């Protein structure tokens, strides 16, 4: 009987170890280096940047964000006009796809999150609470530090 219990315990440990080694089903989103650019008090908008990493085996998409520090939050992309001027617009389709096993960088001059009608000053050292809304992973609260670009 003792031998059977030991064997059962060993088999259970092996099953648990094998399960831990398998890649998690669905998307697995990680947010890295979330920061915002300082902007003067008179500026009504600010921007947030970060790296979104999906270590899962299924695509996900950032479909929006919210913050008490902003009147409105939108997903934007920078673009260059035919005349060579830089512009900004909401992302096409209203979402940023994060493919399985890949990384998407939100950065200056590219994809970013816009804070429109700022309710706080974006001075270096300020921490802003932001909730990211993902299509499959749901809501993910993060903290964004306002700092100078690296």
pLDDT in tens, 56-73: 999 999 999 999 999 999
Report long-range pairs for 76-83 (Cβ below 8 Å, ≥24 apart).
76/47, 76/111, 76/112, 76/113, 76/114, 77/110, 77/111, 77/112, 78/108, 78/109, 78/110, 78/112
Q: CA 137 to CA 61: how far, in whole Å?
A: 9
Measured from the Cβ of residue 123, the count of other Cβ atoms closer than 10 Å reads 12
79 domain residue, yes or no: yes
Domain that holds residue 136: 29-146
43 domain residue, yes or no: yes
The CATH number of the domain holding residue 41 is: 2.60.40.1890
6 domain residue, yes or no: no
20 domain residue, yes or no: no
5 domain residue, yes or no: no
Domain count, the chain: 1
Contact at 8 Å (CB) between 32 and 16? no
133 domain residue, yes or no: yes
pLDDT in tens, 8-39: 445 554 444 444 445 568 999 999 999 999 99
pTM: 0.82
Q: CA 22 to CA 145: how far, in whole Å?
A: 34
93 domain residue, yes or no: yes
């Amino acid at each position: 009987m003792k031998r059977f219990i030991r064997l059962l315990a060993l088999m259970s440990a092996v099953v648990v170890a094998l399960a831990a080694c398998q890649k998690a089903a669905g998307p697995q989103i990680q947010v890295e280096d979330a920061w915002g650019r300082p902007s003067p008090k008179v500026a009504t908008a600010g921007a947030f940047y970060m790296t979104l990493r999906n270590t899962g085996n299924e695509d996900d998409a950032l479909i929006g964000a919210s913050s008490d520090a902003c009147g409105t939050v939108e997903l934007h992309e920078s673009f260059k006009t035919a005349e060579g001027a830089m512009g900004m617009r909401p992302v096409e389709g209203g979402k940023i796809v994060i493919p399985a096993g890949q990384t998407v960088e939100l950065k200056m001059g590219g994809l970013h999150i816009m804070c429109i009608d700022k309710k706080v000053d974006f001075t270096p050292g300020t921490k802003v609470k932001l909730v990211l809304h993902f299509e499959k992973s749901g809501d993910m609260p993060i903290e964004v530090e306002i700092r100078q670009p690296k």
